[in-house]
Amino acid sequence: MLLKIHILSRVHERCLSTSLPAAQSFRKWYQQLWTTERTNLPPYDHFTQVGDPVLRGHAADVPTDYVKSKEVSEIVEQMVKVLRKYNCVGIAAPQIGISLRIIAMEFKQSIQKELPEATYKARRMTELPLTVFINPQLSVTNYTKHKHPEGCMSVRGYSAEVERYEAVKLSGLNQEGLPTELELSGWNARIAQHEMDHLDGKLYIDHMDTSTFICTCWETVNTKSGRVEIPFYK
C-alpha cells in the first residue's frame, strides 16, 4: 500500500513538472525540468508512451515572450532530432515530455519508394518539407472524411483505421516566431490533425475504428513463435 501511495505521488510530481499552469512563469517551469531528482529529463530523445500523463494533458501555449527563446528553440531542435531519428512524419512536443503547443511535420519524398504505388496514391501522399508550428490553430477547409490506417509513435506497435478530414488550414508561428499559414490536403492534412490532437491530450485510439485495431507485428508473432519485441528505442 505504501509503495502504491509512493508511486502515485511520483506520478503526481511528474504531472506537475511537465505541465505549465497559467500562473507559473515559463522560465521557472522550464528550469524545474532540469532541477528535479529524475535522472532522465525532458525534452527526451525518445517518444513518451500511452499511459504517460503528459500525453493526456492540454498543452499550454508558448508564452509570446518565449517564442524566440533559447529554451523553445532547443525544444524544437530536439523534436526535429527525434522525428528524424525514428524516421516518422510528425511529432508534437508532449511526445518528448514537453506540454507545450508545438508540432513538427515532415513527409520525405523517399517514403514513396517504401510503399506500393497504389497505397501512396490512395492515401494521397505528397512531399511536405520540414514544417514547424508554434501555438498552431487548425481549421477544416474540406469536411469530406477519409478512412485510412494510422499509427502513433506513442502507441508503439499498433495501428488502426481513423477518419480524418480531407483538407485543413494551419495558422500559427513558424520556427522563427513569424506568423504563418499553411493549407494541407490528403495525407499531410491527416498528419496535421493527428499532431494537433496530441496538443489537446487526444490520441488516435480515442476515435479509431476499434474493429481495425491491430498489433502491427501480429503475423511475425506467429512465424517467430512469439519471440518478438516492440522496440521503444532506436
Residues recognised as catalytic: 195
Give residues with Cβ within 8 angstroms of 12, minimum separation 6: none
Site string for Co ion, 96-135 (x = CB under 5 A): ----------------------------------------
- The Cα 84–Cα 129 span in angstroms is 12
Judge contact between 96 and 45, C-beta under 8 A: yes
Residue number with CB closer to Co ion (104 or 152): 152
What are the CA-CA distances from residue 27 to residues 15, 65, 72, 94 (Å)?
Answer: 17, 11, 11, 18
- Return the SS3 of 56: coil
Tell me which residue of 220, 154, 216, 152 sits closest to 190, measured CA to CA. 152
Q: Which is nearer to Co ion, 76 or 152 (CB)?
A: 152
Nearer to Co ion, 72 or 190 (CB): 190
Report, in Å, the least distance between residue 152 CB and Co ion.
Answer: 3
CB 204 → Co ion: shortest distance, Å? 7
Q: Which stretch binds Co ion (CB under 5 A): 37-45, 152-160, 168-176, 214-222?
A: 152-160
CB nearer Co ion, residue 27 or residue 234 = 234
Is residue 55 at the binding interface for Co ion, with CB under 5 A as the rule?
Answer: no
- Kindly state the smallest distance separating residue 2's Cβ from Co ion, in Å: 36
Q: Is 82 in the site for Co ion (CB under 5 A)?
A: no
189 binds Co ion (CB under 5 A): no
Does 152 engage in binding with Co ion (CB under 5 A)? yes
φ and ψ of 11, to 5 deg: -60, -40
How far apart (Å, rounded) are the C-alpha atoms in residues 188 and 169? 11
